[in-house]
Amino acid sequence: MEQAIASSNQVQQRRDFLRISTVFGLAFAAGLLKPSDVFAAEWNNKAFEAKNLQDAFAALGAGSPAVSADISISAADIAENGAVVPVTVSSKAANTEYIAILIEKNPNAMSAGFGIPEGTEPAVTTRVKVGETSNVHALVKADGKWLVASKEIKVTLGGCGG
């Protein structure tokens, strides 16, 4: 009996997948959707290869961002395992369009970048690697201006090389 239920669920999941795939395929073919509407934004290789904050800011076009209280970083003050540190960044700045997470002492400063579609809540949650005790920076582009907030995270074990 359980096998019949499991088999039925698999068939239903397969049908749902085919329906969704067909709808997206037709939308692409009709020109209603472009791949850039569905898939990740253009990859900024220079920003992700930057070895320090200033180079990452420059690659993103941020220059010298202003410190802002409209950006909040939520993460543990002490990370027991630097290899997987949960971080949440949210912005109260109007018209937030981009959020990046940078870790000051990592071999490559930029850890993540997120395009924020208009009309969505400007908040992201992810896990980052923090090589050693370091400042984590949230860089936000809102209304054409670059804003930043920082939080120190102390690492007690592991990370980028430990």
Domain ranges across the chain: 2-36, 40-155
- Quick one: pLDDT at residue 138? 97
pLDDT mean over 14-43: 66
Is 0.75 topped by the overall pTM?
Answer: no
Q: Which two tokens stand for residue 150?
A: 């920082």
pLDDT digit string (tens) for 52-66? Answer: 999 999 999 999 999
| Spatial distance between the Cα atoms of 106 and 19, rounded to a whole number of angstroms | 43
- Quick one: pLDDT at residue 18? 78
Does 127 have pLDDT greater than 90?
A: yes
- Quick one: pLDDT at residue 121? 94
33-70 burial string, b = 16+ CB within 10 Å, else e? eeeeeeeeeeebeebbebeebebbbebbebeebeebee
| Spatial distance between the Cα atoms of 131 and 133, rounded to a whole number of angstroms | 7
- Quick one: pLDDT at residue 10? 78
Q: Which phi and psi angles does 26 have, rounded to 5°?
A: -65, -40
Could you tell me which residue, 14 or 21, shows the higher pLDDT?
14
Share of the chain above pLDDT 90, in %: 60
Query: Mean pLDDT over all residues of the chain?
Result: 85
Q: Which two tokens stand for residue 74?
A: 């939520």
Does 162 have pLDDT greater than 50?
A: no
Q: Torsion over CA of 47, 52, 152 and 162, rounded to 10 degrees? A: 100
Q: Which two tokens stand for residue 156?
A: 């007690």
Assigned architecture for domain 40-155: Sandwich (2.60)
| Spatial distance between the Cα atoms of 161 and 83, rounded to a whole number of angstroms | 9
Return the closest-CA partner of residue 90 out of 128, 123, 125. 123
Could you tell me which residue, 39 or 64, shows the higher pLDDT?
64
